[in-house]
Amino acid sequence: MIEVESLTKKYGSTTAVDAVSFSVKKGEILGFLGPNGAGKTTTMRILTGYMPATSGTARVAGCDVANQSLEVRRHIGYLPEAPPVYPDMTVAAYLDFVARIKNVPAERRASCVSDAMHKTNLDDKRDELIKHLSRGYKQRVGLAQAVVHDPDVIILDEPTVGLDPKQIIEVRHLIKGLAGNHTIILSTHILPEVSMTCDRVVIINKGKIAAVDTPQNLTTQLRGGQRVRIEARAPEAALREALTHVEGAARIQTESASDGRVLATVEAAEGQDIRGRLASAIVEKGWPLFELRGVSLSLEDIFLELTTDDSAHAQPAA
């Protein structure tokens, strides 16, 4: 559905996007993960026909974004970073306007508008002026505008930014619900968001693709092994000693907390689940064990790993 080949965008002497290539299959949700200024927005803007690339090609639904821009724009719905709304319009009037400029035929317009409002839970705000809506509702209006013409491809630039936790969950459900019939690209800098909604992830940093894979593969591959956090009441040195004897445990860090408790972090060798062994090692000594859990890597960890460590992981898989 979307094929991007060695796409490059330069602003003067700075390169915002550097030879990026990836593809998205029909019905897939692709997550664009990267820190601010990594080139996510620029890539999306090129895909939507908002700005031309310096070099490289991108095709959406078989049409070239540079030469068949109008045709491409017919196939996409796009939510920019800031929802592109007119504050003086009501929600319904605004969505009607968007449906018109997206070439929705007159007889389907009313149903498209109410569908979009229904999907984004805006039914009760239909006649409110957009300027009176809260940040979260404006974001939903932005989402509704991106889906009102039932496009093949939906491009969402940080769709959950500025929403409260409940709304974030709603938006994630909405995005998942749209998948299948629609191909979706969304950008974010929140790792859990990607693992919860996306089929595949493109990690982008400083304009370059650092990795392309499924969220599951990416986290296990990058983790190399497992990291476990332990909270127990025990003498710090003794606990350390006991943990070093557990088979497969490495890089043990401890720090004492209040109330005689100790927090310990243990990394396991690749491919081993050492949580059971750690638990029995502590319980055997008769120490009260308060907590023991596997820790997933944060985005920062992944970035550190991808940008500083060996580049073995950094080969794009697709």
Partner 1 sequence: MRSFYAVYRKEMGHYFVSPVAYVVIGVFVFVTGFFFTSYIGQAILAGLQGMQMGMTQQDLPGEVMRAFFGIISLLILFFLPMLTMGVYAEERKRGTMELLMTSPITETQIVLGKFFASLSLYAIMLVPTAGYLTYMYFHSDPIPPWRMMLAGYVGVLLFGGALLALGTFLSSLTENQIIAAILTFTAFLMLWVLNLGANASSSVGAVLGYLSVIAHYNDFTKGVVDTSSLIYYLSFIFLFLFLTVRAVDSLRWRRA
Q: Which of 37, 52, 177, 180 binds partner 1 (CB under 8 A)?
A: 52
50 scored as a contact of partner 1 (CB under 8 A)? yes
Which residues on adjacent β-strands are paired with residue 60? 2, 63
Tokens (6 digits) for 59? 């095709």
Kindly tell me which of 81 and 236 has the beta carbon lying closer to partner 1. 81
76 scored as a contact of partner 1 (CB under 8 A)? yes
With contacts defined by CB under 8 A, name the span among 88-96, 116-124, 173-181, 293-301 that binds partner 1: 88-96
With contacts defined by CB under 8 A, name the span among 65-73, 202-210, 241-249, 306-314 that binds partner 1: 65-73
Q: Which of 25, 37, 86, 304 binds partner 1 (CB under 8 A)?
A: 86
110 scored as a contact of partner 1 (CB under 8 A)? no
Give the contacts of 287 (CB within 8 A, at least 6 positions apart).
Answer: 232, 233, 234, 239
Q: Which of 49, 159, 207, 215 binds partner 1 (CB under 8 A)?
A: 49
Q: Which of 5, 35, 55, 100 binds partner 1 (CB under 8 A)?
A: 100
In whole angstroms, give the CA distance from residue 91 to residue 129.
6
Kindly tell me which of 70 and 312 has the beta carbon lying closer to partner 1. 70
Q: Which of 36, 67, 101, 258 binds partner 1 (CB under 8 A)?
A: 101
Residue identified by tokens 């999306």 is 44
With contacts defined by CB under 8 A, name the span among 49-57, 196-204, 225-233, 309-317 that binds partner 1: 49-57
Q: Would you say 30 and 1 are in contact if contact means Cβ atoms under 8 Å apart?
A: no
Q: Kindly determine how many residues on this chain lie close enough to bind partner 1 according to the rule CB under 8 A.
A: 30
269 scored as a contact of partner 1 (CB under 8 A)? no
Kindly tell me which of 134 and 217 has the beta carbon lying closer to partner 1. 134
57 scored as a contact of partner 1 (CB under 8 A)? no
Kindly tell me which of 38 and 98 has the beta carbon lying closer to partner 1. 98
Q: Which of 13, 70, 286, 308 binds partner 1 (CB under 8 A)?
A: 70
Q: Would you say 282 and 239 are in contact if contact means Cβ atoms under 8 Å apart?
A: yes
With contacts defined by CB under 8 A, name the span among 74-82, 181-189, 231-239, 242-250 that binds partner 1: 74-82
In whole angstroms, give the CA distance from residue 51 to residue 8.
12
Q: Would you say 188 and 31 are in contact if contact means Cβ atoms under 8 Å apart?
A: yes
Q: Which of 82, 169, 237, 318 binds partner 1 (CB under 8 A)?
A: 82
Backbone angles phi, psi at 196, to 5 degrees: -80, -35
Kindly tell me which of 59 and 73 has the beta carbon lying closer to partner 1. 73
Q: Measured from the CB of residue 25, what is the shortest distance to partner 1 in angstroms?
A: 22
Q: Which of 35, 37, 62, 87 binds partner 1 (CB under 8 A)?
A: 87
Q: Which of 35, 51, 108, 270 binds partner 1 (CB under 8 A)?
A: 51
Residues that bind partner 1 (CB under 8 A): 11-12, 48-52, 70-71, 73-74, 76, 78, 80, 82-89, 93, 97-98, 100-103, 145
